Amino acid sequence: QASQEELKAAYRRLCMLYHPDKHRDPELKTQAERLFNLAHQAYEVLSDPQTRAIYDIYGRRGLEMEGWEVVERKRTPAEIREEFERLQREREERRLQQRTNPKGTISVGIDATDLFDRYDEDYEDVRGSSFPQIEINKMHISQSIEAPLTATDTAILSGNLSTQNGNGGGSINLALRRVTSAKGWGEMEFGAGDLQGPLFGLKIFRNLTPRCFITTNCALQFSSRGIRPGLTTVLARNLDKNTMGYLQWRWGIQSAMNTSIVRDTKNSHFTVALQLGIPHSFMMVSYQHKFQDEDQTRVKGSLKAGFFGTIVEYGAERKISRHSILGATVSVGVPQGVSLKIKLNRASQTYFFPVHLTDQLLPSAVFYATVGPLVLYFAMHRLVIKPYLRAQKERELEKQRESTASDILQKKQEAEAAVRLMQESVRRIIEAEEARMGLIVVNAWYGKFVNDNSRKNEKVKVIDVTVPLQCLVKDSKLILTEASKAGLPGFYDPCVGEEKSLKVLYQFRGVLHQVMSADNEALRIPKQSHRIDADG
């Protein structure tokens, strides 16, 4: 976003610093020529609106392209950006053709009631009865893939298999979705299964206003008993920035009317719902708190009461790796009993393990369902997950270092050469600042600092940037913008892929000041808040 005047001022400053005629030493003169040419090339690109637009969009590769195969160089910046957006859309369409967006769910139901509901007296003499029996009593597997046909048409193929207590079945569905406009889309569905007959469905989505939409889904289920129709309509409206209201009407096999309000903010998720229907009517309230930590920890609880009984659920979920989220929920209800539900989301796949512990409300079952997963998680996190993530991060950093080693070496050599060329200019700047009791950089370091005791085994990786930082001082001020400081003259990246900071100890009006700034954080000195208290 720099203006032409700012570019000229920066270019003039670098020319004065790197001009070869200012250095008599042959080695310094050679280094100055190289850096002067780099600055001149950069100014030539950025001072021309056409080449600047090409560089902003395509980077250095666009400037080096022979014949400029992408767009004509004579076009205006606006035309270049328009052409670039067109090419982006074409690339997006090609990417759509290759994307299948697979989604799947695997659910394994476990019956562990023998742990708490045992017949201790009547079956003591039965062989094998001394050990509780844990059984898998049901399984469900579903999978779906998307096949974009055009930019507006998508085919969706899905299927599922289910089994419970030795009986099972499955079905397969094909849906064709078309985006009709920016306001809506329609979908036709065809399905068949061994437990149910053919299915035909139609689904329509439409934005009625910018804050309101409607979804209608009608289906015809064919079976030996005849045709069973069904209709579901959902009307939704934005009540405010973070709140949605829903009205649902369902007619058919399980007719019901449902209304719900969902409020989703950065720190919480709240839902209240009321349903009147056959066979189930209920009221439900749930709350989820989102912790603002790197593991995206969430704690949730809900209460659901209706004709079927009452259920209280509470649980938590946490991110355990880049693509995996692990969660556990305890369900306590009448007459359902106590259950533990474990869920693992891995990318677009979901693995669900509901464990039924008892049909009764036993305090011991509630205790073990609550404490057991916590103990197991913290043990696994400390012994397995944390070492694995640390090793994975080290491998990624090592790979990144190897791929950028030659480039970093070149940047380091350029930075060292720049520092040598700055010495004379820095000496004059310091003399001028001392004369006016101005800004003098005493020490400055850039790189990875380790201040946390938990990271004391990690190695500090910093470079001395006192000279290049002093060279940027003008009229007793130093201003750095919101950009990586590794790109400043005389700087380079000492620890690729790791968090970096800039630590500056400076003197202003004879008083010492100190500041620590993050790599991409803007910095302006001097400031009163940086002052080091003499008593401290």
In this prediction, what percent of the chain has a pLDDT beyond 90? 40
Quick one: DSSP state of residue 180?
E
User: Max Cα separation, the chain?
Assistant: 103
Structural domains in the chain (count): 3
What span, in angstroms and rounded, lies between the C-alpha atoms of 165 and 175? Answer: 31
Residue type, 460: V
Domain at 26, CATH number: 1.10.287.110
What span, in angstroms and rounded, lies between the C-alpha atoms of 356 and 342? Answer: 11
103 part of a folded domain = no
Q: Going by C-beta distance under 8 Å and a sequence separation of 6 or more, which residues neighbour residue 100? A: 145, 146, 147
Q: Are 80 and 68 in contact (CB under 8 A)?
A: no
Return the top range by mean pLDDT from 181-195, 200-214, 493-507.
Answer: 200-214
Quote the pLDDT of residue 14: 85
What span, in angstroms and rounded, lies between the C-alpha atoms of 124 and 394? Answer: 55
Cα angle 115, 116, 121; round to 5: 95
Q: What is the pLDDT averaged over residues 87-97?
A: 63
Return the top range by mean pLDDT from 50-54, 434-438, 481-485.
Answer: 434-438
- What is the residue-wise DSSP string for 93-124? HHHHHH----EEEEEEEEE-GGGTS--TTTTT
What span, in angstroms and rounded, lies between the C-alpha atoms of 359 and 382? Answer: 34
Domain's final residue, options 229, 254, 279: 254
- What is the residue-wise DSSP string for 483-531? S-GGGSTT---SSTTS--EEEEEEEETTEEEEEEEETTS-EEE--GGGB
387 part of a folded domain = no
Domain's final residue, options 41, 62, 83: 62
User: How do residues 502-531 score in pLDDT, each as one tens digit?
Assistant: 999 999 998 999 999 998 888 999 999 999
Category of 166 on φ-ψ map: left (φ > 0), alpha (ψ -120 to 50) or beta: left
Q: Nearest 10 degrees: CA dihedral of 193, 196, 202, 208?
A: -110
Quote the pLDDT of residue 399: 82
Q: Domain containing 19: what range? A: 4-62
Residue entry with tokens 């000229």 = 8
143 part of a folded domain = no
Q: For the purposes of burial, counting CB atoms within 10 Å of the CB of 482, is it exposed (0-12), middle (13-18) or buried (19 or more)?
A: exposed
User: How do residues 155-179 score in pLDDT, each as one tens digit?
Assistant: 999 999 999 887 888 999 999 999 9
Residue entry with tokens 């007959």 = 197
What span, in angstroms and rounded, lies between the C-alpha atoms of 261 and 245? Answer: 5
Domain's final residue, options 227, 254, 281: 254
181 part of a folded domain = yes
Crossing angle of the two packed helices 4-18 and 26-47, in degrees rounded to 10: 170
Q: Going by C-beta distance under 8 Å and a sequence separation of 6 or more, which residues neighbour residue 453? A: none
Residue 449, Cα to own-chain centre: how many angstroms? Answer: 25
User: How do residues 222-252 score in pLDDT, each as one tens digit?
Assistant: 887 788 899 999 999 999 999 999 999 999 8
For residue 74 the two structure tokens come to 């004579």
178 part of a folded domain = yes
φ and ψ at 275, to 5 degrees?
-130, 135
222 part of a folded domain = yes
Q: What is the pLDDT averaged over residues 183-205?
A: 90
Asked if omega into 489 is within 30° of 0 (cis), the reply is: no
For residue 99 the two structure tokens come to 């994307």
φ and ψ at 291, to 5 degrees?
-80, 140
Residue entry with tokens 């011991």 = 364
User: How do residues 421-456 score in pLDDT, each as one tens digit?
Assistant: 888 888 989 999 999 899 999 999 999 887 655 455
Q: Nearest 10 degrees: CA dihedral of 292, 294, 295, 301?
A: 0
| Residue 446 bridge partners (DSSP) | 463, 502
Q: Are 303 and 284 in contact (CB under 8 A)?
A: yes
More confident residue, 475 or 81: 475
User: How do residues 285-329 score in pLDDT, each as one tens digit?
Assistant: 999 999 988 888 999 999 999 988 899 999 999 988 878 899 999
153 part of a folded domain = yes
Average pLDDT, the chain: 85
More confident residue, 448 or 99: 448
Quote the pLDDT of residue 317: 94
**CA 34, 37, 43, 48 torsion: positive or negative?**
negative
372 part of a folded domain = no
Within this chain, do residues 153 and 249 fall inside the same structural domain, yes or no? yes
Quick one: DSSP state of residue 321?
S
Quote the pLDDT of residue 370: 93
Buried b (16+ CB within 10 A) or exposed e, 217-239: bbbebeeeeeeeebebebbbeee
